[in-house]
Structure 1
């Protein structure tokens, strides 16, 4: 275990994921910076650290599963599953498709999530929270209960307000990367 996994993951995000320029976000908003978490989520050390942090952020809960909207939540869920396994605790993973497949089981939620299950919904970077709300809606539609919402980075542009009804815990905010939030 790394002495300070949060500090080291922050350092890796600063080195690999924080980009400056002109970007259009998933929310449709324009931004002068972008957090490309995939540049970190597919790095061995970073994904291990993230698993530790996701475990620490959720270990107090009696959860059955962890997951969120494809694509960002998939490696995050895998990291959490490894950390839970190492801690001797069972946990299922899932992901929510942006739209149901037209073949096979045609499921929107992939993985072992059923009515009555308590879950944690995760996402990488949140601006308005729209993507994570889509995942929340999908798992609650199958009857699961959302115990907590965790993201890697909150850009501080409305996600907290959109998730006010949930136990919402970002691992970092954009300020942790030395950036002030842009006007909404």
Structure 2
């Protein structure tokens, strides 16, 4: 199973089998309406599907120069954790906002000046939530050149991230899933 088509087929089957792809009337986090919904939390909690995601993302990571695998809380954390385990690269968790108690901070993990981070995202629509994480990482002295998303809904995230100098690599696209 080396071809891109085989990998996509395997992931699409796994996402459908675990119930992550739903059809109906949905409101997305972006506020947009959609006739389908991809519930990656379902995939994240299914060991077989999570393994497929981790293996495919980790195989892409070995083509990049990277120090940390990053995930945005909450949806990206189980995915990034699985990819971290598979790739044997350290994990960085990016909180949505700075914690005002304990040790505080926006990051869990060892983000240093010059650290190269690949972010793992569950579903990208406009790229809004991941853009905030990219800004936080860059503000702390790290760099992000690549975001791997499980599903790209093909609604401007690619262009939006490209404007920041970040490449979006989808494991599958919405067109792949709903055809």
Both structures adopt the same fold (TM-score exceeding 0.5) = yes
Contact 2:158/2:167 (8 A) holds in 1: no
1:39 aligns with 2:47: no
Distance 1:134 1:111 in 2: 18
Cα deviation digits, residues 108-137 of structure 1 (max 9, x gap): 121111110111012100111001101111
Contact 1:128/1:157 (8 A) holds in 2: yes
Aligned length: 174
Distance 2:131 2:12 in 1: 25
Match of 2:135 among 134, 137, 143: 137
In the alignment, which residue of structure 1 is the partner of 2:29?
A: 26
* Cα drift, residue 5 of structure 1: 4.8
1:52 aligns with 2:55: yes
In the alignment, which residue of structure 2 is the partner of 1:167?
A: 167
- TM (norm. structure 1) is 0.88
SS in structure 2 opposite 1:97?
strand
* Cα drift, residue 178 of structure 1: 2.2
Structure with greater strand percent? 2
Describe how 1:9-158 pairs up with structure 2 within 5 A: 9-15=11-17, 16-85=19-88, 91-158=89-156
CA gap of 1:169–1:61, structure 2 versus 1, over 3 A, is same
Contact 2:30/2:125 (8 A) holds in 1: yes
Contact 1:149/1:168 (8 A) holds in 2: yes
- TM (norm. structure 2) is 0.90
Contact 1:66/1:119 (8 A) holds in 2: yes
Give unpaired runs (5+ residues) of structure 2.
none
Cα deviation digits, residues 130-154 of structure 1 (max 9, x gap): 0110111111111101131110001
